[in-house]
Amino acid sequence: FMPGKQTGLSAQCWPDRLIGALPNVYLYAANNPSEGALAKRRGAATLVSYLTPALTHSGLYKELVSLQQSIERWQQLGPEQALDRASLTELIIEQARSIDLAVPAHINAASDASDVKATRDTALAAWIEQLQNQLLELEYALIPEGLHVMGQTPTREQRLGTLKVMADAMGLNSREHSALLEALVDGATEAELQSQQNNLKAAAPLSHDKASVPPEAESLRQLVRSNRLLGEDHEMQGLMRALDGRYLQPAPGGDLIRNPEVLPTGRNLHGLDPFRMPSAFAVRDGQRQAEKLLARYQQDHQALPETVAMVLWGTDNLKTEGGPLAQALALMGAAPRFDSYGRLAGAELLPLSTLGRPRIDVVITLSGIFRDLLPMQIRLLAEASFLAASADEPPEQNYLRKHALAYMAEHEGSTLECASLRVFGNTEGAYGANINHLIDSSCWENENELGDAFTQRKGFAYGREGRPVRNTSVLQSALASVSLTYQNLDSVELGVTSIDTYFDTLGGISRAVLQAKHQRDGNAAEAPPVFIGDQTQGDGVVRSLTEQVALETRSRMLNPKWHESMLQHGYEGVRQIEAHLTNTMGWSATTGQVQPWVYQQLAQTFVLDPAMRERMAQLNPTASAKVANRLLEATRRQYWQPDAETMTALLRAGEELEDRLEGIQEGLPA
């Protein structure tokens, strides 16, 4: 991982000298082609892919189920049952509040004045509908079920879960085809399934039900193939082949639900053709996602954002043929240009008349992995921002030009080339903002240290030449104009609270934006809204960070289906729970946009429940103590303020877990 060694090693390089002629066999998650490509380029690795965990719908649990039942009953009551309706309304409000679902103030205020009452009834119906949609989103959120064990094939139920999600991704509604999917996992052949479908159709010829539309033959073939391959172990076989020094078949990397060709695993992942990225599909999708983000911001702020700060990783781009980078181009009103061989040659601007809105200024920060894998795309993005800033267009129709000209007016002697730098990242050979390490070790006092770490690490501008040069001045100026920060989420298995790199990059830039605004406008300046483009299902949806963390907390950590499946893996399962909590605190530290109830409920579920506390401590005493300490750290840093009783219980539990770690047990002399 040294400067200048992004694409390969020479015979003089230490890793190459040390590894010599030794074969390098490297197990790799099938959904991580970007880091896998690095292992191949630098370590001449033969990758042996393994499967990601089975996927399942989150489902509802405990109080969420009772709330859903109350809502359904409420909807069945007619206007003549006013009394029942009123008491059920009170119950719904109480139930929602008990699990920290927001109850708007105007719903709370009961009044008997008839005109007020009519308004309240309308508002009430709207709120209950919204609540129901929220429950629906939660129920159908996709979550990973536990962890994958190398060489172990998924159970029938796990296979069914994954195949349902795959069917949905193919446009076959899994709820309407449940009989078909059951038959599929029980081993029905393609011909049998096809005839089962035909019989259904014959039995109900007049039905206009969607279920009577037979699945496309190709989708059916893919599902049958996937079911068969999921039931066979190719991973141990692949590993043994590689260790025997035999040839391993290549395979595309990516998400099983989007690309069934990922199966069978146990094969050698391959990467990308950089000359074809972004693909035509990605360009179109990038435009759609750009408009979706702008629409969400407009809905909240009644204006277009002038500047978007966007984080690009290697993984999200590799899995989508460059969707996110095409989205950055689309925001600027630019597109890739290809030569007569169809190879990427540079950027071009779309005319404003085609674009139909102003060009948005985009500050891009790259992961180190993106920088290593996609140098041509870096130059493409840099050329796009330069072309946009150079366009002879009114500044009110071109925010990039507007900001670049303002920068030049403020900084005598600066050039347009410099003022339009918008692609930033680490210098060569460096990765990440290191905020994740600060958070994990608790070695920081003030949130400003986190923003400073980000600009320190990511303050290198990549211009049209593609070489990094530190440029704090342009970065600070661009960050101060940011209206929102944004990153796409590409994998179901990895949410923004699953790994520490999302808050390291998106959280880091959000904090850096706030600090740049403080510097420019004084301390009254506000933090930018943070948005996540969830690309994991259907056509994608834009959520605020607050919404995304709430959804992940409810569908994963608090959901017995998720945490029980983790605890089945013992030690590592507890560590995963601890990691999710630490990552959640990373979001509080960098953005302040995590609601306090998240900590309260995590504390109740994992620390204040004696049985759960005991179980987790048995499985992994270190991670259990870390969970309690992290919750206490969150109170110290004012990310939540529990009542005195909770605080005392948490302190006591924390001490007990620490004692256990030190080998002091109750009943024994200390």
User: Which residues of this protein are in contact with ligand BEZ, per CB under 6 A?
Assistant: 34-35, 313-315, 367, 369-370, 501
In the complex, what is the shortest distance from the CB of residue 427 to ligand BEZ, in angstroms, rounded to a whole number?
A: 16
Please say which residue, 328 or 388, places its beta carbon nearer to ligand BEZ: 328
User: Which residue is associated with the tokens 């009542």?
Assistant: 643
Cβ atoms within 10 Å, residue 411: 14
In the complex, the smallest distance separating the C-beta of residue 270 from ligand BEZ, rounded to whole angstroms, is 16
- Contacts of residue 608, defined as CB under 8 A and 6 or more positions apart, other chains included, come to 646, 649, 650, 653
Q: E strands of 292-352, at which residues?
A: 307-312, 334-338, 344-349
The whole-angstrom separation of Cα 385 and Cα 401 is: 9
Q: How far is the CB of 146 from ligand BEZ (least distance, A)?
A: 21
Provide the minimum distance between the beta carbon of 52 and ligand BEZ in the complex, in angstroms, as a whole number.
Answer: 14
Pick 34 or 227: Cβ nearer ligand BEZ = 34
Tell me how far the alpha carbon of residue 478 is from its chain's centroid. 25
Distance set, CA 399 to CA 461, 462, 512, 526, 561 (Å): 19, 20, 21, 21, 47
Q: How far apart are CA 299 and CA 308, in angstroms?
A: 16
- How does strand 468-470 pair with strand 541-544? unpaired
CB of 457 vs ligand BEZ, minimal distance in Å:
13
Helix pair 375-390, 399-410: axis angle to 10 deg: 80
Nearer CB in complex with ligand BEZ: 34/307: 34
> 369 or 461: whose CB is closer to ligand BEZ?
369
- Give every CB contact of residue 323 below 8 A, 6+ residues apart in sequence: 278, 282, 285, 286, 289, 316, 317, 488, 535
Q: Which of 54, 71, 74, 244 is nearest to 146 (CA)?
A: 54
Measure the CA–CA gap between 36 and 250, rounded to whole angstroms.
13
Least spacing, CB of residue 346 vs ligand BEZ, in Å: 23
For 662, phi and psi rounded to 5 degrees? -90, 5
- Say how far apart CA 38 and CA 529 lie, in whole Å: 33
Amino acid at 151: G
Nearest approach, Cβ of 40 to ligand BEZ (angstroms)? 14
CA 212 to chain centre: 35
Nearer to ligand BEZ, 386 or 503 (CB): 503
Q: Smallest gap, in angstroms, from Cβ of residue 313 to ligand BEZ?
A: 3
To the nearest whole angstrom, how small is the minimum distance from the Cβ of residue 263 to ligand BEZ?
Answer: 22
Q: Which is nearer to ligand BEZ, 423 or 657 (CB)?
A: 423
Contact 360, 306 (CB under 8 A): yes
Cβ-based nearer residue to ligand BEZ, 68 or 487: 487
Shorter beta-carbon distance to ligand BEZ: residue 215 or 368? 368
User: 550-588 burial, b if ≥16 CB within 10 A, otherwise e?
Assistant: bbbbbbbbbbebbbebbbebeeebbbbbbbbbbbbbbbb
Region of residue 62 (phi > 0: left; psi between -120 and 50: alpha; otherwise: beta):
left
Q: What's the DSSP call for residue 670?
A: -
* Beta-carbon count within 10 A of 394 CB: 10
CB of 656 to ligand BEZ, least distance (A): 35
Q: Which is nearer to ligand BEZ, 227 or 317 (CB)?
A: 317
Give the Å distances, CA to CA, from 48 to 116, 234, 269, 369, 490.
Answer: 66, 10, 7, 20, 22
Q: How near is the Cβ of 4 to ligand BEZ at its closest, in Å?
A: 19
Least Å distance, CB 512 to ligand BEZ, is: 17
Structure tokens at 125: 């119906």
Q: How far is the CB of 432 from ligand BEZ (least distance, A)?
A: 7
Closest distance of CB 579 from ligand BEZ, Å: 14
347 beta partners: 336
Closest CA to 421 of 364, 375, 482, 368: 364
Burial class (CB in 10 A: 0-12, 13-18, 19+), 525: middle
